[in-house]
Structures are given as C-alpha cells and as structure tokens.
Amino acid sequence: MDPFSSAAIARQTWELENNIVTTTAANDNSAASDAIFYYDGAAQDAFQQEKPWANDPHYFKRVKVSALALLKMVVHARSGGNIEVMGLMQGKTDGDTIIVMDAFALPVEGTETRVNAQADAYEYMVDYSQTNRQAGRLENVVGWYHSHPGYGCWLSGIDVSTQMLNQQYQEPFLAVVIDPTRTVSAGKVEIGAFRTYPDGYKPPDEPVSEYQTIPLNKIEDFGVHCKQYYALDITYFKSSLDCELLDLLWNKYWVNTLSSSPLLGNGDYVAGQISDLAEKLEHAENQLSHSRFGPLIAPAQKKKEVRKTITFASFIT
C-alpha cells in the first residue's frame, strides 16, 4: 500500500500508540535487523554452561516467536480438529528471552492420559533434528507445544508434570499451548507460553492476568494446578523479507477476509459455550441458595465469567 493511504497512516498511528516495536526497521537497514536469524553456536553453548536459570525459577520472562513458527503451530493445531496434537519448537535463548525460530509436528496422538511422547516419537525427533541441522537450521529444541481445542490456554495436571520433568532434564525448555477453536471463532490467536515452578517454590503473588472462560468439566484441573506455573509474555517477529511478502499477500487475501464467517465454522462450539455458561449460572444459583453470605463472594466470580463470555459472544457476532 502506498505510504500516504489512510490505511497506512491509521496503522502507523495505531502502532505508535501501542508501542509496537518491529524488529524490522522500515528503512533499508534490513541486514542488521535480520540478525536475529543468525545462530551463534559458541554463545549458546556458553549460556548453557552458565545455567543462570538454576538459581531463579522466574528467570525467563519473555518469549519471541517467529512468524513461521506461529503459522506452523496454529495450522497443525487446527488440522487436529478436536484431538489434541503436539510438537516441538526449535530456537535459542537471549538473556531472559526464549526465542522460538521454528516448530515441527510430532506423529503422536495426544490424549489427556498420555504423559510423554513414545519411543518412535523420540526417533522422529532425533531424525528430524539431524536432517534440519544438515539443511542449515542449527538451533536446538527449546520447548514443546500442544493444543487444547476449545478449552483455553493453560496447563493441565499432566502437562504440569511433563513440563516439570522437562525443566529438570532439558533446560531451557518452554511449554506453549494453542487453542485453535477459540482462535478461529474469536479471530485472534489464542496462545500461551508457560514455565513451571519447581516443587515447593512459593511464587510471589502476581496479579491475575487476562481471565479466560474454562468449561466446567476442566475447571477443577485448572484450579488445582494454576499456581504451579507462570505465563510468559509473547511477542512476534518476522524478517524483512517476511514483511514484504506478507504485505503483498494482503493484496490477494482481502477476499478471504470478507468471505470468512466465524459463525458457520463454529456453530457447535458457540452452542457448547452457551450451554456451559448456563450450567455455570445454575451452579452459582445453587451456591446462592445454600449460604447467606456466600452470595456476595461466589457471584462475583461468576459475574466476571459471565461478562467475559458475553463479550466473547458479542464479539463473534
């Protein structure tokens, strides 16, 4: 788009107001900003030896995900439909930031009861990493991702124990959860990055981050473990060439934007959410009738929940 179109000006104003820092400068200094793609093996090894995370459980605070990794993860998660899928992420670390450069899928079907990838998945992992290294991707595996289709981005009990194990033996390691159903129905990417606290560590009280609705049948699992891990901030980056291509892609894309209809794609998901909300309201009502002072505390939670689902429902319509 030409630099003086109203769309471009609007975007720039918006970017300014929201302090968006793109790693690619708009001017011609693209080589310096593409530096993030350069893998410095020696520096990475030195960092591994140091292990600064061993002393501070809250060491890693941010995650930078590349455009390619995000696209691959979301497409893979969506292709699983209602089945949980998982995969690994490759990347490197940079101070207190974990950088995810690429992701690949694993040929395992995840169910809630499966703790770890099986033996053939390990073989796949090794094979794939080897071929990648030959092809020029030198980064190591730096985390794993899996999908929670329809029930939000958080770590379940199994996930927490898996991640704790990973953090003992494969540091630095990151857990990422993607919800493809909510992504498609809300029109924005639902993704969360987490690291667990080691056993026995009491985290400082942090303010509750963005509240998300969780279906009743999962809410117990969520509540029991929600204090054992913390969420990291996610930002995205792309190369200068990516920027160009994505801009040009938009010229062909606008048709799809207009023709996409979140309602058609997710009719049953929306209906499911509404019935879940109805159940929760009934629950709240029962609690109300059981106690006298309870009503003041319990409905406060329910109201927040209700409000969140409302905004969500009105948003998709």
Contacts (CB under 8 A) with other proteins, residues 36-55? 37-39
Q: Does 127 bind other proteins (CB under 8 A)?
A: yes
Q: Which of residues 146-175 bind other proteins (CB under 8 A)?
A: none
Q: Does 314 bind other proteins (CB under 8 A)?
A: yes
CB 190 within 8 A of CB 179: yes
Per-residue exposure over 48-75, b if at least 16 CB sit within 10 Å of its own CB, e if not: eeeeebeeeeebbeebbbbeebbebbbe
> Cβ contacts of residue 43 below 8 Å, gap of 6+?
none
**Interface with other proteins (CB under 8 A), residue from 94, 96, 171, 242:** 242
Q: Does 67 bind other proteins (CB under 8 A)?
A: yes
| Rounded least distance, CB 68 to other proteins, Å | 4
CB atoms within 10 A of CB 47: 17
Choices 154-162, 163-171, 219-227, 296-304; region in contact with other proteins by CB under 8 A: 296-304
- Judged on CB neighbours under 10 Å (0-12, 13-18, 19+), 313 is middle
| Rounded least distance, CB 153 to other proteins, Å | 11
**Interface with other proteins (CB under 8 A), residue from 44, 47, 68, 161:** 68
Choices 127-135, 153-161, 168-176, 222-230; region in contact with other proteins by CB under 8 A: 127-135
- Bond prior to 57 in cis (omega within 30° of 0): no
Tokens of 290: 């059981």
Q: Which of residues 75-104 bind other proteins (CB under 8 A)?
A: 75, 77-78, 102, 104
- Bond prior to 207 in cis (omega within 30° of 0): no
| Rounded least distance, CB 115 to other proteins, Å | 20
The nearer residue to other proteins, 5 or 168, going by C-beta atoms, is 5
- Look up tokens 């410095």; give the residue: 40
Tokens of 106: 């694993």
Question: How far apart are alpha carbons 11 and 118 in whole angstroms?
Answer: 47
Q: Which of residues 183-212 bind other proteins (CB under 8 A)?
A: 183-184, 186-189, 191, 209-210
Q: What is the DSSP letter of 27?
A: S
Choices 92-100, 124-132, 150-158, 164-172; region in contact with other proteins by CB under 8 A: 124-132
CB 194 within 8 A of CB 89: no
Tell me the residue type at 81.
G
The nearer residue to other proteins, 48 or 130, going by C-beta atoms, is 130
Q: Which of residues 257-276 bind other proteins (CB under 8 A)?
A: 257-258, 260, 263, 265, 270, 274
